[in-house]
Structure 1
Amino acid sequence: MKLRAYQNELVEQVRQAWRAGYKAPCIVLPCGGGKSCIVAEMARRTTFNGKRVLFLVHRRELVEQIKKTFIRWGVDMKLCEVGMVQTITRRLKKLARPALIITDENHHSLAQSYKRIYEYFSDVPRVGVTATPVRLNGDGLGDVNDKLIVGVSAKWLIDNNCLAPYDYYAPDVADLTGLHVSHGEYMAAEIEKAMVKNTVFGDVIKYYKQLANGKKAVCYCASVRHSQRTADVFNENGIKAAHIDGSTPKAERDRIISAFRRGDITVLCNVDLISEGFDVPDCECAILLRPTKSLTLYIQQAMRCMRYRPDKRAVIIDHVGNYARFGMPDDDRQWSLEKKPKAQHKKQEQSDKVKQCPECFYTFSAPPAGVKICCPHCGYEFPTAERKLETDSSVGLVKVEGFKLDFSSPADCHTYPELLQYAKSHGYKSGWAYYQARQRGLIG
C-alpha cells in the first residue's frame, strides 16, 4: 500500500520538523484525507527499524479498528502498542519505552491523562493528527504541540476526487430558543426534551425521502432516547433503521454495522459514536439533529458522508442550522497554536449573561433562568423557554450553496445566513442580522 503524494509530503514535513528540533508537531488534515494511512505508514517505518510505537486513542471502539488498519499496512504489532489513553495512563510503569508516540484525534490531548503520558516519556518524540486543532473554547493546542503541519484543504480534496462533492440543506433559520449552554455546549437534556417531542426543524422522514431517498445515511441525534425514537420512526415509515451508542454490546454493534455495510439497514442512528475516527463505509448522507457549539463535532459529522464514493454527490441535511454557527464543512480555516486573548474568553463566558433586544438593540443583563425576559427599553418580550421549536409546518429546508465571504455591504446579502456571516465578519451581534432579516421579510 502506498501513500498519496500529499500524504507523503506531510510525513516528510514531520521528519523535517523533528530534525529542526521540534518535539511534538501536529498534522492537520480534513476528515477523509487519510490521517489513519499517514500514521500507519509512520508506525510501519518505525517498527521496521526495530523501534517501538505507542499509539493513543480516546475511545475503546477505536482500538481494534486501528489495529486492523495497522496490520493491513504492515506494521509489526509486536512492537506497537495501541491503547485507550485512560488505560495507558494507568500502566505507564509497565510499558516498554517507545521510540515514537502517535496521538489520534489530537484535539483531545490537552486532557491531564494525555499530559501524564507525555510527561512520563518526556524525551520521546511525538506526532498528533486531527482535522480541527482547537479546543471547544477556540484555544489552540500550544500547551501540547510546538508546530502545526497543515495539509491540503477540504476543497482541494473534493476538486481532486479524494472526497465526494456535496449538497447541503438546512432551514432558512433555526430557532434555538430554550436551549441553554453549560461548559461550552448545549445542554443534552434540553436538546432531548425538544427533539423527542418531535419539535425538530422540519420533518426528518419527509426530507430524507425528498433529498436522499435510498441513500445510506448516518443520523446524529441528541441522546440515546432520541436516537432510539428516531430509528423507530424511520422503521415505521418503511425505511430500515437501527440505533447504536457507546453502551451497545460489541457483538450487537458489529452485527448492526455489518448489516449497514451490506445495505440491510439504510439509516444508522447514533449518539456521537459515528464521528471521531469510527469507520462506517458507504455512507452518502449525513442527517444532523443535534445543535452543537463544537466546530470539531460539526465537521466530523457533516463530512462523514463525503469520505466514500467521490463519483457521487453526498447529501447533508442539517435540521438544526449548525452551518449558521460554523460555515460550510469545507470552508477554508486558519489554525493557530495560540490561545485566544483573555478578554475574548471573558466575552464568551459572559455571552449567555447578557441579552440584546432584536427590535431596538438595547443590551442588558439577563434575569435568572426561568424569569420572563422583556427589553427594559422598548418592552419587547423574548420568546419563553417553553415555546415549541418550529416544525415543518412553518419552516422548510433550503439548499445552502456556501457563504460569500467578501460582502462589501449588507445590500450584497440576500439570505438570513448571509446576513449572519456578514455580522460575524464585521464584529456585529447576531441581533443585527436578525433585525435586518425581519425588516426585509426574510424571516417571520
Structure 2
Amino acid sequence: MSSTKFTLRPDQSKLIQDGDAATGNVILVAPTGFGKTVVMGALAERQTRPSVAIAHRHELVSQISKAIAQFGVHHNIIASKNTVNFCIQQHVRLFGRSFYNPRAPFTVAGVDTLNARADKLRQWANTIEMWMIDECHHVLTGNKWGKATEMFPRATGIGFTATPIRADRKSLARSQGGVFDSMVVGPNMRELIGRGSLCEYRIFCPSQSIDRANIKVGASGDFSGASLRQEAHKSQIVGDIVTHYKRIAPGKRGITFVVDVDQANETAAAFRDAGVPAECVSAKTPDSVRDAIFQKFVNGTLLQLVNVDLFGEGVDVPAVEVVSMGRPTESYGLYVQQFGRALRTIKGKTHGTIIDHVGNVVRHGLPDAPRNWSLLAEERGKRGQRDPNVMPVTTCTECFMAYEAVTPKCPFCGHRPEPESRGRPEFVDGDLIELDAETLAAMRGEIEAVDGPPPADGSDIVGASINKNHRLRQEAQEELRHSIAVWAGVQRDMGRPDSEIYRRFYHTFGTDIMSAQTLGRPAANKLKEQIDERI
C-alpha cells in the first residue's frame, strides 16, 4: 500500500491561501473536526525549506506524523523512542512502508523532547525556516511552547487551533506576551455542520450533583485541581454518568471526561458492572496499552473510554458517538474540544450526543454559536464579559434537552415552563408577549412620556433647557427606534417569530425593546451604535 494523498476541500485550500497572505507568525483558526492535521500535511508537502511541526503528547505527534505520511512526505521524528517506533509501525501498517527519515528536511517533534534536547539540537534548529504548532493557544513567551519556538531564530510560524482563547485570558499576540502577529479565521462549526463536514448534535443536561459554587478557580483561569477533585468525589457523578448513558445512548461508543484518575477508574468499573465494556486511560497509561485500548474502541469491542482530559485536544477519534461530561471547566477551549469529539462524521451516524452532567453547556453556550475572535487581549474591564453573539442556554426540566433561551417552550418536547413572574422583563428574558397587561401598560406609559410634548412651558432659561434636552432625547430615540426596526426586520426575514426576536434582542443588547424606547439621549445613542454594528 502506498501513501494516499488527501484532496483538500475548498475551505481547507482557502485557509491555506489566506494564511499565505497574512504577515509574520499567523494563527489559523478552524473548528474541531475541520481537518487541521490534513492542512498541516498539505503544508508539509509543499515545503522545500527545513521545517518542523510541533505537538504535545504521544497521540498528537503520531497523528501529525501519519497525516504527513499520507502526503508522501518523508520526515524526521524527534520524540521518545516509543513514539518514534509507534509512528514507524503506523506508517507500515497503513502505507506498507515507513516515511521516517532522520535526514529529511521536515521534522515532527514533541514539545517536551525539543526542550529537553535543546542544547544538542541547536545546530539543527538554526537551519529551520518554518515551524507549525498544533493547539497553539498554549503558546506564550516563556512557557514550554514559547521556549520551543525560540529555538528557531530564523523561522516564521504557523499555529493551529479551534479556540484562540485561553482560560486565563492572556493574549496570544506578540505585542502582549504571545508569539503571533496575525490571525486567519476559517469557517465556523455551524457552517461545517451545514456542509456535512461535521454532524449535528443533541445535548442532554441531567441535574448536576457537583456543586460548582465550592470549586475554586486557579491561576490558569480554570477550576483548581484540589477543590475540583474534592467536590467531584463528594458527588454522585459516577452513578449519574452510567445511568444516563444507558438511558440516553445505550450501545453507542462514547468518551467520558472526569476529574482525576481515581474517578476514571471508578467510572470505568461502574460501566463494566452495568454491562458496558469500558476502560480507563490517562497520561500515565503506557503508550502500548493506550494504543491497544484505543484500537478496541475503534473496532467496537470497547464502548467507553473514560479519561482525564487525554482526548480533550487534537486527537481524531471518529468512532465517538457520545460524549459524557463529568468534569466542569471554566475553559471555553477545553469545553469545545471535548464537545467536538462527538461531531466527527462516520457512516450511519446521524448526530453526536452530548450528556452534560456538570453545567458546561449552560456556562459556555452552544459551541456552534458565532464567536468574535481577537488576537489582542480583552480591553481592561471586559474580562469575562459575555459575547453578545452567544445566546444563553437553558435546560428543559422535562426531557433534559439543552436549548438556547430564545423560545418560551422547549423545542424538543414542547414543555413550557412557567416564569417566576410576569411583572418585569428580566423574568421572561425580555419577551414582551409574556408580560402581564399591567406591566405592559406601565411600560407604554413611560414611552408616551418620552414621546409627549415638552414638559416645561419654556418661558425661562431653566424651562428652555429642559425642553431642549427633551427634544434631543426624542431625536435620539427616533434614530434608535429606526435601528431597532431594521434589526427586527432582519430577524423576521430569517423566519423568527416576535417572541424569539424579543428574547434575542434582550440577550444580545442587555435590555428589552420597550425599555430601550425610554432611554435618555446618551444611552440611546450608545445602544443605536451597538445595534448598527450588528445589522
After TM superposition, the score normalised by the length of structure 1 is 0.77
Backbone CA RMSD of aligned residues:
2.9
Distance 1:313 1:124, change over 3 A: same
Q: Which amino acid aligns with 1:265?
A: L
Distance 1:423 1:188, change over 3 A: farther
Report the counterpart of residue 237 of structure 1 in structure 2. 274
Give the Å deviation of 1:427. Answer: 6.8
Q: Which moved more, 1:167-176 or 1:289-298?
A: 167-176
Task: Give the secondary structure class of the aligned counterpart of 2:11.
Answer: helix
Distance 1:192 1:54, change over 3 A: same
| 1:116 is aligned to 2:153 | no
Distance 1:301 1:99, change over 3 A: same
1:138-217 alignment runs, 5 A limit: 138-143=169-174, 144-171=179-206, 175-183=211-219, 184-200=221-237, 203-217=240-254
Distance 1:217 1:157, change over 3 A: same
Report the counterpart of residue 104 of structure 1 in structure 2. 134
Give the Å deviation of 1:252. Answer: 0.7
Task: Give the secondary structure class of the aligned counterpart of 1:261.
Answer: helix
Distance 1:299 1:403, change over 3 A: farther
Report the counterpart of residue 54 of structure 1 in structure 2. 52
| 1:93 is aligned to 2:93 | no
Distance 1:403 1:59, change over 3 A: farther
CA deviation digits over 1:159-217, x for unaligned, max 9?
A: 11000100011146774232122222212233323333443298222211221111100
Give the Å deviation of 1:125. Answer: 1.9
Give the Å deviation of 1:290. Answer: 0.4
Structure 1 unaligned segments of length 5 or more: list them: 349-394, 429-444
Q: Which amino acid aligns with 2:400?
A: V
Q: Which moved more, 1:191-200 or 1:258-267?
A: 191-200
Is this contact kept in 2: 1:163–1:307, CA < 8 A? yes
| 1:326 is aligned to 2:386 | no
Is this contact kept in 2: 1:107–1:135, CA < 8 A? yes
Is this contact kept in 2: 1:172–1:397, CA < 8 A? no
* Matches of 2:186 and 2:324, distance apart in 1: 27
Report the counterpart of residue 402 of structure 2 in structure 1. 400
1:117-132 alignment runs, 5 A limit: 117-132=148-163
Report the counterpart of residue 32 of structure 1 in structure 2. 33
Task: Give the secondary structure class of the aligned counterpart of 1:62.
Answer: helix
Give the Å deviation of 1:424. Answer: 7.6
Higher helix share: 2
Task: Give the secondary structure class of the aligned counterpart of 1:95.
Answer: helix
Is this contact kept in 2: 1:106–1:129, CA < 8 A? yes
Report the counterpart of residue 438 of structure 1 in structure 2. none
Task: Give the secondary structure class of the aligned counterpart of 2:204.
Answer: strand
* Matches of 1:198 and 1:220, distance apart in 2: 15
Distance 1:397 1:146, change over 3 A: farther
> In terms of Rg, which structure is larger?
2
Residue of 165, 179, 204 corresponding to 1:134: 165
* Matches of 2:324 and 2:141, distance apart in 1: 30
* Matches of 2:355 and 2:206, distance apart in 1: 9
* Matches of 1:34 and 1:282, distance apart in 2: 15
Q: Which amino acid aligns with 2:122?
A: K
| 1:14 is aligned to 2:19 | yes
Q: Which amino acid aligns with 2:294?
A: I
Q: Which moved more, 1:88-97 or 1:76-85?
A: 88-97
Aligned residues: 370
Distance 1:223 1:286, change over 3 A: same
* Matches of 2:505 and 2:227, distance apart in 1: 30
CA deviation digits over 1:395-424, x for unaligned, max 9?
A: 88710123539xx9532479xxx9x99998
Task: Give the secondary structure class of the aligned counterpart of 1:70.
Answer: helix
| Greater relative contact order (Cα < 8 A, sep 6+) | 1
* Matches of 2:260 and 2:208, distance apart in 1: 23
Q: Percent identity?
A: 32
CA deviation digits over 1:346-386, x for unaligned, max 9?
A: x89xxxxxxxxxxxxxxxxxxxxxxxxxxxxxxxxxxxxxx
Is this contact kept in 1: 2:297–2:303, CA < 8 A? yes
Give the Å deviation of 1:425. Answer: 5.4
Is this contact kept in 2: 1:44–1:76, CA < 8 A? no
Residue of 62, 65, 69 corresponding to 1:64: 62
CA deviation digits over 1:103-144, x for unaligned, max 9?
A: 110101115233334334333221111001112123441121
Report the counterpart of residue 74 of structure 1 in structure 2. 72
Q: Which amino acid aligns with 1:254?
A: D
Distance 1:172 1:224, change over 3 A: closer
* Matches of 1:232 and 1:265, distance apart in 2: 13
CA deviation digits over 1:223-248, x for unaligned, max 9?
A: 00011100010101111110000010
Distance 1:409 1:25, change over 3 A: farther
* Matches of 2:239 and 2:184, distance apart in 1: 40
Report the counterpart of residue 257 of structure 1 in structure 2. 294
* Matches of 2:242 and 2:505, distance apart in 1: 33
Q: Which amino acid aligns with 2:185?
A: V
Distance 1:413 1:189, change over 3 A: farther
* Matches of 1:177 and 1:210, distance apart in 2: 28
* Matches of 1:158 and 1:258, distance apart in 2: 27
Distance 1:213 1:421, change over 3 A: farther
Structure 2 unaligned segments of length 5 or more: list them: 1-5, 76-103, 386-396, 408-423, 432-499, 512-535
Residue of 239, 248, 252 corresponding to 2:285: 248
* Matches of 2:356 and 2:106, distance apart in 1: 40
Deviating beyond 4 angstroms after TM superposition, the runs of 4 or more aligned structure 1 residues are 172-175, 420-428
Q: Which amino acid aligns with 1:72?
A: Q
Is this contact kept in 2: 1:215–1:266, CA < 8 A? yes
Task: Give the secondary structure class of the aligned counterpart of 2:109.
Answer: strand
Give the Å deviation of 1:58. Answer: 2.4
Residue of 379, 383, 407 corresponding to 1:341: 379
Is this contact kept in 1: 2:255–2:322, CA < 8 A? yes
Q: Which amino acid aligns with 2:276?
A: I
Distance 1:120 1:241, change over 3 A: closer
Is this contact kept in 1: 2:239–2:270, CA < 8 A? no
